[in-house]
Amino acid sequence: MKLYDSLTGEKRDFAPQGDEVKMYVCGVTPYSSAHVGHAMSYVYFDTLRRYLEFLGYTVKHVQNFTDIDDKIITAADKQKTSPVMLVEELVEEYLMDMANLNIQPAHVYPRVTDEITKIVEMIEGLIEKGFAYESEGDVYYRVTKFQGYGKLSHRTLDGMMAGARVEPNLQKDHAMDFTLWKASKLGEPSWDSPWGKGRPGWHIECSAMALHYLGPHLDIHGGGQDLVFPHHENEIAQTEAFTGEAPFADHWVHNGLLQIDEGKMSKSFGKLVTVRDALAKFSSDTMRLFFLNSHYHSPLAYADESIEGQQRAAERLLTALELDASDNAGSEAVDPEPFRQRFITAMDDDLNTPQALAALFDLTREINRGNDEKKQIGSAQDTLRELTGVLGLRLYPQEEESTQSASPFVELLAEIRQELRDAKQWELADRIRDRLQALGVSLEDGAGGTKWRNRSS
RNA sequence: GGCGACGUAGCCAAGUGGUUAAGGCGAGAGUCUGCAAAACUCUUAUUCGGCGGUUCGAUUCCGCCCGUCGCCUCCA
């Protein structure tokens, strides 16, 4: 497959170095609930992983929690709790949110606070090599020492200085030098180090954890486009300087950002919709279809109206999967192979999920048409089930607890209505159907009798 | 100011230097149905922000302009 690489700026063939694909995806800093921007990013990376697994690769997926940070300390203070408690609560919530989106869990979820030893070792190594220096208890990375600083984000140090709001800092040799180790103030969580009590800077943890769990040469390193600079740029500088090996990652994969109200959805602006809010309105299938209908590399605007359309699309897929064609008499069968090929071709081309979906919707039409024509559709349905699964769609009938427990009563009403229909009591029969519809239950009269399904959301 | 992305039908959104510009939602007509729903069939962009250029030919390549957005500071 071909995959776009932000470092080289081109679509390149993807081929892992070894037997397993080493994939590191930058995780969250748990100081508030996950929002739909996170959902989008992780749905894309989940889809990438599922597709690689579909191709037969074994993927080792590592995703960190940056569980110590200024914002966590501030948020914990505000909520009169401790950073540890706050993080525990939010990590648990995050994992639940991701599971609800049908995102496969990473194999390892390292946390900064468990990796301090590794981080300190790495900083010491960087100091020894002259890439870092201590200054009043802080340790900074010397950007001028690393040739190629800016190669990922395609900018130069001069370009970054021009017009940038860089605060002068006499502790640093160069304004763009960034923090590896930060001396702690009184009362803040801290760890012992050769430079005194403190905590890691923002970027070093990902370098240390990726190195620890996946080694010096990743196949895929991913995250949102907002991480390109400075986060990933700095990771490259730290890791390549430390290991002396390049490239740190073979493919740098960055997803476009989710927009809301004509601006990026971002925690710091308070303009956000949490994953919970979204999933209260829409199913995970609907949300995933909304994301996957757009290419991962493009920005996408969050809008309820846009998502609502995907709800119908999800139902369309489900309806085709639920067709019972067991008594179709025809000997001809719908051949899913051309659609499978289109799906693979699309996904091979830098994970072109919109085109892959187009192939699946065409297959859906072919299944429906085949059913009308009394063809065999079982194998086509199997393929549709398999490939929608690669996209992480669940496509199971909506069965809320309330309707599950109500099902005997719905069936009773359907039965009575059938008797009314047999007696041509249309008005009463329609009234039952309309009232059930208003309650979220659709009755559909087909050749083989009446089916009912929950259509409430 | 620097760097970058994007602008395709009512909405969302793929895509290509040249036979019919995917797919989804929506809308309209028809088939089916007691009526519906679902499904199917047909219709819904002679045209891809604007203006130039390259070319036999551009929506696709180049330049300029207009518009939207991102990064340059924490952020998936």
| Digit-coded pLDDT (tens) for A116-168 | 999 999 999 999 999 999 999 999 999 999 988 999 988 888 878 775 556 66
Strand partners of residue A133: A140
Instruction: Give the CA-to-C1' distance from A5 to B57 in angstroms.
Output: 33
How crowded is residue A273: how many other Cβ atoms within 10 Å of its Cβ? 17
Residues recorded for chain A: 457
Same domain, yes or no: A383 and A432: no
State whether the beta carbon of A418 lies below 7 angstroms from any atom of strand B: no
Q: Helix crossing, A284-292 with A36-54: angle to 10°?
A: 80
Same domain, yes or no: A77 and A116: yes
Segments of A151-206 assigned E as strands = 178-183, 198-200
Q: Which of residues 155-184 of A touch strand B (CB under 7 A)?
A: 155, 159-160, 162-166, 178
State whether the beta carbon of A263 lies below 7 angstroms from any atom of strand B: yes
Same domain, yes or no: A221 and A329: no
pLDDT, tens digit (0-9, with 9 covering 90-100), for A392-411? 999 988 666 555 677 888 88
Where in the sequence is the domain holding A353, given as residue range(s)? 309-390
User: Which chain B nucleotides are covered by protein, judged by CB under 7 A?
Assistant: 1-6, 11-15, 22-26, 33-41, 68-76
Provide mean pLDDT across the span A344-370: 96
Nearest residue (Cα to C1') for B31?
A372
Is residue A281 assigned to a domain? no
Instruction: Give the CA-to-C1' distance from A352 to B63 in angstroms.
Output: 31
Strand partners of residue A264: A259
ipTM: 0.94
Identify the DSSP state of A228. Answer: I
Question: Which tokens hold the place of A185?
Answer: 């103030």
Strand partners of residue A120: none
Tell whether the model's pLDDT for residue A386 goes beyond 70: yes
Look at residues A245, A269, A293 and tell me which one is the last residue of a structural domain.
A269
Tell whether the model's pLDDT for residue A436 goes beyond 50: yes
Look at residues A390, A409, A428 and tell me which one is the last residue of a structural domain.
A390
Task: Please name the nucleotide lying closest to A301, CA to C1'.
Answer: B12
Whether the Cβ atoms of residue A39 and residue A97 lie closer than 8 Å to each other: yes
Domain count, chain A: 3
Is residue A94 assigned to a domain? yes
Look at residues A338, A361, A390 and tell me which one is the last residue of a structural domain.
A390
Q: pLDDT tier at A187 (50, 70, 90 boundaries)? A: confident
State whether the beta carbon of A294 lies below 7 angstroms from any atom of strand B: yes
Q: To which residue do tokens 């960055």 refer?
A: A254
Instruction: Give the CA-to-C1' distance from A426 to B13 in angstroms.
Output: 42
Q: What is the per-residue pLDDT for A457?
A: 41
Same domain, yes or no: A265 and A345: no
Task: Please name the nucleotide lying closest to A360, CA to C1'.
Answer: B23
